[in-house]
Amino acid sequence: MPVDTDVEKLIAALAEAVISHADELTALDRAIGDGDHGLNMRRGFEAVLNQLPSLAGQPLPEALKAVGMTLVMTVGGASGPLYGTLFLQLGKELPAGANRQQVCTALAAALTALKLRGKSERGQKTMIDALAPPLEAFQQGKDPVAAALNAAEATIPMQAQRGRAAFLGVRSIGHMDPGARSSALLIAAAAAVAAQQP
Ligand code: ADP
Ligand code: MG
């Protein structure tokens, strides 16, 4: 996300990515959760889209904070407060007109806040497993999208240790984590918009 990232394009792309994959996310959550992840995320990002006209005029950090607050209030489930924290903290950490290094630092701080909020770490079959690898790739100048999509796939053989899926024990093995998939979709959408920036 370079300095002059088009706020409106970015937020619209994030919302579109989630909303257009809501059924897939719900199907994934039906396998190892309660089948509402797509519904939760769609509700949240539809609320974000409703605010797009007012968000579009704001600096990126302010817009991200507003998105975070809306997600906390509307997504529900475990993922609402977690995604809300991610966006809110990213908005708080990101300086106006951030350079690449500052974007990396802000993303890392937002991920740390999410981990604290979820009392979770990498390797527990959650959204964190699809957020940490693309951040590392971005830091190393590698492709964050491939890293995110592959990392979501890599949750399939994991046994869940957080969230509802953890109650399934070994039966959580063999399914992609729904939150990891939604995170990978968000990363892919953000990267696509960033790639279009001049
Ligand atoms: P719920 O589980 O309350 O129905 P969702 O279905 O919307 O909420 O979201 C489930 C996703 O949330 C999981 O796939 C997982 O990625 C993520 N998740 C759940 N608990 C945690 C946690 N403690 N830390 C990180 N991510 C979590
Ligand atoms: Mg669920």
Residue with the nearest Cα to atom 4 of ligand 1? Answer: 77
Q: How confident is residue 94, by pLDDT bands cut at 50, 70 and 90?
A: very high
CA 32 / ligand 2 centre spacing (Å):
8
Cβ–Cβ under 8 Å, residues 177 and 127: yes
pLDDT digits (tens, 9 = 90+) for 36-85: 999 999 999 999 999 999 999 999 999 999 999 999 999 999 999 999 99
7-195: CATH architecture: Alpha Horseshoe (1.25)
Atom in ligand 1 nearest the alpha carbon of residue 119: 23
Q: How confident is residue 197, by pLDDT bands cut at 50, 70 and 90?
A: confident
Cβ–Cβ under 8 Å, residues 10 and 197: no
Q: Is the pLDDT of residue 4 over 50?
A: no
Q: Which of 23, 24, 37 to mutate to test the pocket of ligand 1 (most atoms within 8 A of CB)?
A: 37
- Helix H segments across 99-167? 100-118, 128-139, 144-153
Residue 128 in contact with ligand 1 by CB distance below 6 A? yes
Cβ–Cβ under 8 Å, residues 68 and 186: no
| Domain parsing of the chain, residue ranges | 7-195
pTM reported for the whole predicted model:
0.96
Please name the residues in contact with 169: beta carbons below 8 A apart, sequence gap of 6 or more. 159
Q: How many CB atoms lie within 10 A of CB 72?
A: 18
Within the chain, what is the greatest distance between any pair of CA atoms? 48
Distances from the Cα of 84 to the Cαs of 17, 27, 68, in angstroms? 17, 22, 4
pLDDT reported for residue 125: 98
